[in-house]
Structure 1
Amino acid sequence: MNTTPTTLTRRSALTLLGGSVAAGLSTASVAADANRASWATLAKEARGQTVYFNAWAGSDTINAYIRWAAQQVQERFGVRVEHVKVSDAADVVKRVRSEKAAGKQDGTVDLVWINGENFLAMKREGLLYGPFTDRLPNFALVDTRGKPTTTLDFAEPVAGMEAPWGMAQLTFLVDSALTPKPPQNITELLAFARANPGRVTYPRPPDFHGTTFLKQLLLDLNSARDAFYKPVTPEAFARASASLWAYLDSLHPQLWRAGKQFANNAATTRQMLADGELRWALTFNPNDAANEIAAGRMQASVMSYQFPGGTIGNTHFVAIPVNASAKQGALVLANFLLSAEAQARKADISVWGDPTVLAVPRLSAQDQKLFVGKTVAGQVHNAAPAIPEPHGSWMAPLEKEWLDRYGA
């Protein structure tokens, strides 16, 4: 039977297409095998290493979780983890900076818990090892699409230089027995403070929570937000912050101790709320109140909520300094922290209550079951949209100006 040119073309195309698909599958398979082999080699090299994990140590529950993770990594992968307890990640940045300037190749920091302006400083100064996230098998589980802050740290592209660890969002607390209808925006918050003089405050900047509250006000007071997601300029800062200072000038006289003094940190405001001294407090972990209630430190009537229009949210990360002594061990630890098991345990209210960075619906049915928990008192019932953090460069001038105006 004669074959027309058209038929020949179609057959040839199908043959070529089949060959291309097969080649593509073969290439992908080879790449996957190579990645597995590469990770196996890396994990073997990591055995026997000691990873000095520099992480904030201000919470007993978080410290306990890190101890658990360290034990698991030791038992499963032969990597020893030492939790170097720090109060401020900025101190770790200074140490890495000094070590690099001195030419120290075997640095004292192998992994650091970090985000925001500290990440920005390390990235810009060449203090980070990487990119490395594409080497972590468990990074494929991260919800980079639904949780865009897993790839943007305070508007700065992560570019694989740090691995996401957990999610956070500005959340407010009230005792529903005393405040059944809490303020739902900053206008209502000012009215609430006036109606309850001396019963509202916020942490003193540069405490992280206090600065975050200022950023929330800054965003809510400015409908045009594009400038906040670019490196700050003096002109942009002056223009955007004018309404903030006007708002604070009205708010502060209504605050605890007439705005002449401020709480040292968010934990203090939560304790003051539990003691009845305050009627409103804040946190950056949506599950903090649930944890406090479970521990018996807060009344079961305390509720968590977020402004319906959205509150600032971000991701916190772990990163490896450029001069880390145990890079392979740090990668093994970072990968374990992204496992479904480790993320589910971290999200458990009874353990830490830190929201996961993973795309839970994409996990296996067995792993999804790890994240199923009961609703408990104190949890946020109606989560609001997360507003991305402004670019990290806005923090320093914001804190400086606040201190100049109100810090005396």
Structure 2
Amino acid sequence: MTIQLNRRHLLALSSLAIASPVFAQSSASWSTIEAKAKGQTVYFNAWAGSEPINAYIQWAGAEVLKRYGVKVEHVKVSDAADVVKRVRNEKAAGKTNGTVDLVWINGENFLAMKRDGLLFGPFAESLPSFANVDVQGKPTTRIDFSEPVDGLEAPWGMAQLTFMVDSKKVANPPKSMAELLAFAKANPGRVSYPRPPNFHGTTFVKQALLELNADRGALYKPTSPEAFAKASAPLWAFLDQMHPHLWRAGKQFPQNADAIRQMMADGELLLALTFNPNDAANEIAAKRLPESVISYQFSSGTIGNTHFVAIPVNASAKEGAQVFANFLLSAQAQARKADIAVWGDPTVLAVDKLSAADKARFAAKPLPGQVISPAPTIPEPHGSWVDPLEKEWLKRYGQ
């Protein structure tokens, strides 16, 4: 029954995504944008917590400078919410030439920017490279945390909650939250998850919330106190039951997914989690995890989404930002990003729609640690659920 519900929600969201308007643009107008972009500097505000990602952005910036005369400055940030606040403050102050030209966002940050009129566009579906985006197979390229994108951000990469275990230590890994509870009871102190509001910790909580609600309709709408109380009640009961069996009896939680992965590598924990299905393969390639580590997703599906780039309404280099966003969607840039040796971030493109030459860019053989059988993607709950979930979790378990 759960699988049927997952598919029904996916079909509903797919229909909404496919029904979204396509913002056509003539080649002549795109040529005009490229001409105006030449000589502009794009201040790209993006998370900087990963050296491979930083290196990839540096490569993409160099390519855009060489091809289009657009300079890209990576403004390294730790939290996209800080960028949202800066854009909001600049707009309130009447600053028309803002300090942010492009921002890497999704979820509640996109919701806040869209709601407050902080975004330029629609522009995304006017990008020439958008023609190859897999809007049918990957409906979250047009739906961001259940909020229609409406062309206000351009898809960049895919993500899905993924678990990893060392197959030499765990023969039958848990494939659902119910199985994970049983696994934690059978292996006391060997399971944990990151402390919310860490992104991976909040995602773990949302996964449990979705699995524990057979009727998920309310989760895909803006939350209300009544809806939150009803939907979250089974979640808190589940966590109350699970926490005593976790690492340090659920009195403390690791700060992030990197810490949990290291604890698994050290043998302290038996299971780790990530939002990048290629994460374990990356770590194996870097010799930080043994080749016996496998990645997998829950049988009935796990939360997945798309991450995007968006242009603030007061950006100083709107044309340059569009040129850079378009390059990030090109087959060359997407294939390089998907390469385990570079980043390992899954593509948003429909590879089967590409030319033979571009398809060949994605033809790498599966590597140890990659997900062998991807599970269905469960769309994120509406972005308005994040804040109350995190606050209630901290109230109950954060002391």
- Shorter-normalised TM-score: what interval? over 0.9
- DSSP-derived class of the 1:209 partner: helix
Counterpart residue identity of residue 319, structure 2 = Q
The yes-or-no answer on 1:173 pairing with 2:167 is: no
What residue number does 1:147 align with?
138
Say which of 209, 216, 221 aligns to 1:218.
209
Q: Give the corresponding residue for 2:180.
A: 189
Q: Which has the larger radius of gyration?
A: 1
- Per the alignment, residue 5 of structure 2 pairs with none
Instruction: List alignment gaps of at least 5 residues for structure 2.
Output: 1-22
- After superposition, where does 1:225-304 map in structure 2 within 5 Å? 225-304=216-295
Shift of 1:377: 0.6
Q: Secondary structure at the match of 2:26?
A: helix
Q: Distance in 2 between matches of 1:97 and 1:355?
A: 31
Q: Match of 1:221, as an amino acid?
A: L
**SS at 1:163 equivalent:** strand
Please tell me whether residue 120 in structure 1 is matched to residue 111 in structure 2: yes
Partner of 1:70 in structure 2?
61
1:372 aligns with 2:363: yes
- What SS does structure 2 have at the residue aligned with 1:219? helix
The residue type equivalent to 2:116 in the other structure is: E
Q: What is the TM-score with the length of structure 2 in the denominator?
A: 0.93
1:316-327 → structure 2 map (5 Å cutoff): 316-327=307-318
Q: What secondary structure, in the 3-state scheme, does the structure 2 residue paired with 1:199 have?
A: coil
| Distance apart, 1:275 and its partner CA | 1.0
Would you say how many aligned residue pairs link Structure 1 and Structure 2? 377
| Equivalent-residue separation in structure 2 for 1:51 and 1:128 (angstroms) | 16
Q: 2:40: which partner in 1? A: 49
Q: Aligned-pair distance for 1:133?
A: 1.3
Q: How far does residue 220 in structure 1 lie from its aligned partner after superposition?
A: 0.3
The residue type paired with residue 188 of structure 2 is: P
The answer for the alignment partner of 1:19 in structure 2 is: none
Aligned-pair CA distance for 1:134: 2.8
CA offset at residue 195 of structure 1?
1.1
The superposition leaves residues 190-242 of structure 1 with CA deviations (integer Å, 9 ceiling, x where unpaired) of: 11111111111001000111000000000000110111100001111100100
**1:135 CA displacement:** 2.2
Sequence identity, in percent? 72
Task: Please report how far the alpha carbon of residue 176 of structure 1 lies from its aligned counterpart in structure 2 after TM superposition.
Answer: 0.5
Structure 2 equivalent of residue 60 of structure 1: 51
**In structure 1, C-alpha distance between the alignment counterparts of 2:267 and 2:290, rounded to whole Å:** 10
Which whole-Å CA distance do the structure 2 matches of 1:280 and 1:305 have between them? 11
Q: Distance in 2 between matches of 1:54 and 1:293?
A: 30
**Root-mean-square deviation (Å):** 1.0
1:131 equivalent in structure 2: 122
Tell me, yes or no, if structure 1 residue 88 matches structure 2 residue 73.
no
Q: List alignment gaps of at least 5 residues for structure 1.
A: 1-30
Other structure's SS at 1:145 match: coil
SS in 2 for 1:81: strand
Tell me which amino acid in the other structure corresponds to 1:214. Answer: V
For residue 33 of structure 2, give the secondary structure of its aligned residue in structure 1.
helix
Structure 1 runs of 4+ aligned residues shifted over 2 Å read: none
Residue 31 of structure 2, aligned match among 19, 35, 40: 40
**Aligned-pair distance for 1:41?**
1.2
Helix, strand or coil at the partner of 2:95: coil
Residue 205 of structure 1 aligns to which amino acid in structure 2? P
User: 1:7 aligns to what?
Assistant: none
SS in 2 for 1:205: coil
In 2, distance between residues paired with 1:330 and 1:394?
A: 30
- Match of 2:202, as an amino acid? T
1:390 to 2:387 alignment: no
Q: Distance in 2 between matches of 1:366 and 1:394?
A: 43
Q: Which amino acid aligns with 1:372?
A: A
Structure 2 distance, partners of 1:133, 1:93, is 19
**Displacement after TM superposition at 1:37 (Å):** 1.1
Query: What is the Cα deviation at residue 346 of structure 1?
Result: 0.4
Alpha-carbon distance between aligned partners in 2 of 1:176 and 1:87, rounded to the nearest angstrom: 34
For 1:400 and 1:116, the matched residues in 2 are separated by 17
Q: Which amino acid aligns with 1:395?
A: V
Partner-residue secondary structure (3-state), 1:54: strand
**1: CA distance between counterparts of 2:215 and 2:198?**
26
SS in 2 for 1:257: helix
Tell me the SS of whatever aligns to 2:44.
strand
Give the Cα–Cα distance (whole angstroms) in 2 for the partners of residues 111 and 362 of structure 1.
Answer: 28
Q: Find the aligned partners of 1:65 and 1:302 in 2 and give their Cα distance.
A: 26
CA distance in 1, matches of 2:255, 2:147: 28
